[in-house]
Amino acid sequence: MTRKQLELQNRFLNTAFWIASATGNVNMARIMMEKNHRLQYIRGVKYFPLSISALKGKYSTVKYLYEKSDKMTGDPWTDEDRESVLVDCVERELFDVALQIVTDRPELASTVSLLKVLARKPDAFAPSEKNIVMRIIDPVQPAAEEDTDAMKLLKIIWKHVCETKNLNEIKNILKRPPEPFKPILFVAAERGNTRFIAEVLRMYPDLMFDKNENRHTIFHIAVMNRHQGIYNLMYEIGGVNNDICLECDKEGNYMHHLVGKTSKEMTAKMAGASLLMQRELLWFKEVEKIMPACLTEEKNIDDQTAYELFSKENEDLVSSGLKWMKDCMVVATLIVTVAFAVAFTVPGGYRQETGFPFFINDTSFLVFVIADAISLFFSTIALLVFLGVLTSRHGQRDFLYSLPRKLMIGLLALFISVASMMVTFSSSFFVLYNQGLEWVPILIATFAAVPVIVFAVLQFPLLIDMFRSTYDSHYLFNSKKRMLYNIKPKFQSSYDTVMV
């Protein structure tokens, strides 16, 4: 095609190059650009090709077109076009491209609408999750965490805002709602965007006292949504956290009342009623610990103390958790019954003259007997553990440590018994078909492994979560890791001496 033909537009005013950019066909776009460099400046429906590829989130195409656009310079580009590309890159999480744009064109750092977008993206700021061992090592030898591209972008924009605006202007910016009736800082708190909030408060700590229409601070929002990262920032503000704790909302709820209410966020995260109840108890005890003693028995507008509200909100979790344990006990009972019966029904039968099994000298028969015994023993342990749980005292506070430990023992014993039962089943075929048709027991043993794998896939995540919640719970509320004041705030407020 000729250069002129490449510039032809359809009835929607889109060129073939524009369509290739919109669909992310970077190879086709590159071929056409080699023939006609002007194609990148021909608008389609309102957008430049670079603009539409950013809007659609086509990473490779955006990178290529931005390099060819000479940093979006020239007459065709307006400030509105540049800001649109930048905002779309952040919306579509093309943070490295957005960072490059702001670096190349520092004047775009004044695009405060980016704060609205970044507030809604907590995952963009989060480093990779660490395992239990690394969390133990970190307090002893903390490793410097490299900023993500989103954090680098936030620092550039927030620094520009702080250098060019006063506190009242900044508050007005942060009050612009990225979502209906929700200011920027409160959206970040609701989404659990800890690093966004820490960066904002680091420069202007007074913002932590701002309230929304329900008279909640960002820390109240964090407690309601169970975001421990934001909550842990309270450990860094020293005695000022008492001022936060003394705040109550329109319904007379203090912070420990709010943690007593069921959290949809936590319900979606936790697997199983028992684990959910345990995590809710951990949260309640933590918030109760930082509240002033004079507010412990304070009642809200519904004449409820925090513990009364917590008990009422979570009473269904107790019954659900006990029902789940009862179901596990039924499974353990069935396995005990089967394993006990199998012990007296050996494959091949018994010799009439001696009473010993026919295949007593076979290795596969020995495996059969041992596996059946293991299955019987561990299923009995699981049965006794679950029976002990159901017949013992089970108040809400027992879900904190006592019941989870018993559940872990019961689940682990149940898994071992199921695995042993499948080994018993498979080995019986090796006993019967040891003289011929060797492929039959091998095939059956392969299929017998499927239930064990399914059980492990379904139950082991719960077991691991329960272990972490029980023995790793003190890392949830870690007051040692500092995020706020490793950098000096821009200005000294009246309470800085208390906080630092």
Of 294, 315, 336, the residue at which a domain comes to its end is 315
Mean pLDDT of 229-246: 87
Of 8-12, 36-40, 331-335, the poorest mean pLDDT is in: 331-335
Segments of 11-88 assigned E as strands: none
Res 349: pLDDT? 63
Res 142: pLDDT? 46
Q: What is the 3-state secondary structure (H, E, C) of 370-398?
A: HHHHHHHHHHHHHHHHHHHHHHCCCCHHH
Q: Tell me the average pLDDT of the chain.
A: 83
Res 258: pLDDT? 94
Do residues 14 and 135 both lie within one domain? no
Residues 261 and 312: their CA atoms lie apart, in Å, by: 9
Q: Is residue 444 part of a domain?
A: yes
Res 38: pLDDT? 92
DSSP 56: H
pLDDT at 469 over 50: yes
Quick one: what percent of the chain has pLDDT higher than 70?
85
Domain membership of residue 229 as a residue range: 124-315
For residue 158, which of 169, 170, 146 has the smallest C-alpha distance? Answer: 170
Res 368: pLDDT? 83
Do residues 309 and 171 both lie within one domain? yes
pLDDT at 399 over 70: yes
Residues 122 and 150: their CA atoms lie apart, in Å, by: 10
Q: Which helix (H) or strand (E) holds 83?
A: helix 79-91
Q: Cα-Cα-Cα-Cα dihedral of 232, 238, 244, 245, to 10°? A: 80
Res 491: pLDDT? 44
Res 500: pLDDT? 35
Do residues 328 and 399 both lie within one domain? yes
Residue recorded with tokens 């293991």: 374
Residues 359 and 361: their CA atoms lie apart, in Å, by: 5
Do residues 269 and 226 both lie within one domain? yes
Res 322: pLDDT? 73
Do residues 280 and 424 both lie within one domain? no
Q: Is residue 497 part of a domain?
A: no
Mean pLDDT of 374-385: 89
Residues 175-203: tens digit of each pLDDT: 766 665 678 999 999 999 999 999 999 88
Mean pLDDT of 65-80: 90
Alpha-carbon torsion (133, 136, 139, 141), positive or negative:
negative
| DSSP string over 170-209 | HHHHHTS-SBTTB-HHHHHHHHT-HHHHHHHHHH-GGGGG
Roughly what angle, to the nearest 10 degrees, separates helices 95-104 and 59-68? 20
CATH number of the domain at 74, please.
1.25.40.20
Mean pLDDT of 30-38: 93
Q: Is residue 114 part of a domain?
A: no
Residues 72 and 205: their CA atoms lie apart, in Å, by: 37
Do residues 378 and 243 both lie within one domain? no
Q: Is residue 118 part of a domain?
A: no
Quick one: what percent of the chain has pLDDT higher than 90?
37
pLDDT band of 392, cuts 50, 70, 90: confident
Mean pLDDT of 156-181: 81
Q: Is residue 388 part of a domain?
A: yes
Res 436: pLDDT? 66
Do residues 137 and 260 both lie within one domain? yes
Q: Is residue 100 part of a domain?
A: no
Do residues 332 and 305 both lie within one domain? no
Do residues 233 and 322 both lie within one domain? no
Residues 46 and 13: their CA atoms lie apart, in Å, by: 9
Mean pLDDT of 249-258: 94
pTM over 0.75: yes
Mean pLDDT of 420-442: 79
Roughly what angle, to the nearest 10 degrees, separates helices 59-68 and 49-56? 150
pLDDT at 497 over 50: no
Do residues 324 and 298 both lie within one domain? no
Q: What is the 3-state secondary structure (H, E, C) of 81-132?
A: HHHHHHHHHHHCCCHHHHHHHHHHCHHHHHCCHHHHHHHCCHHHCCCCCCCH
Of 92, 108, 139, the residue at which a domain comes to its end is 92
Contacts of 112 (CB under 8 A, 6+ apart): 157, 161, 173, 176
Residues 95-151: tens digit of each pLDDT: 999 999 999 999 998 888 899 999 999 999 986 555 444 444 454 444 456 789 999
DSSP 393: -
The total number of residues written for the chain in this structure: 500
First to last CA, the chain: 68
Do residues 181 and 46 both lie within one domain? no
Q: Is residue 162 part of a domain?
A: yes
Residues 462 and 344: their CA atoms lie apart, in Å, by: 35
Residues 443-466: tens digit of each pLDDT: 888 888 888 888 888 878 778 877
Question: How many structural domains are present in the chain?
Answer: 3
Residues 333-360: tens digit of each pLDDT: 888 887 777 766 766 666 666 666 666 6
Residues 38 and 146: their CA atoms lie apart, in Å, by: 40
Phi and psi angles of residue 350, each rounded to the nearest 5 degrees, phi first? -120, 155
Do residues 331 and 404 both lie within one domain? yes
Residues 272 and 276: their CA atoms lie apart, in Å, by: 6
Q: Is residue 116 part of a domain?
A: no
Of 92, 112, 135, the residue at which a domain comes to its end is 92
Res 139: pLDDT? 46
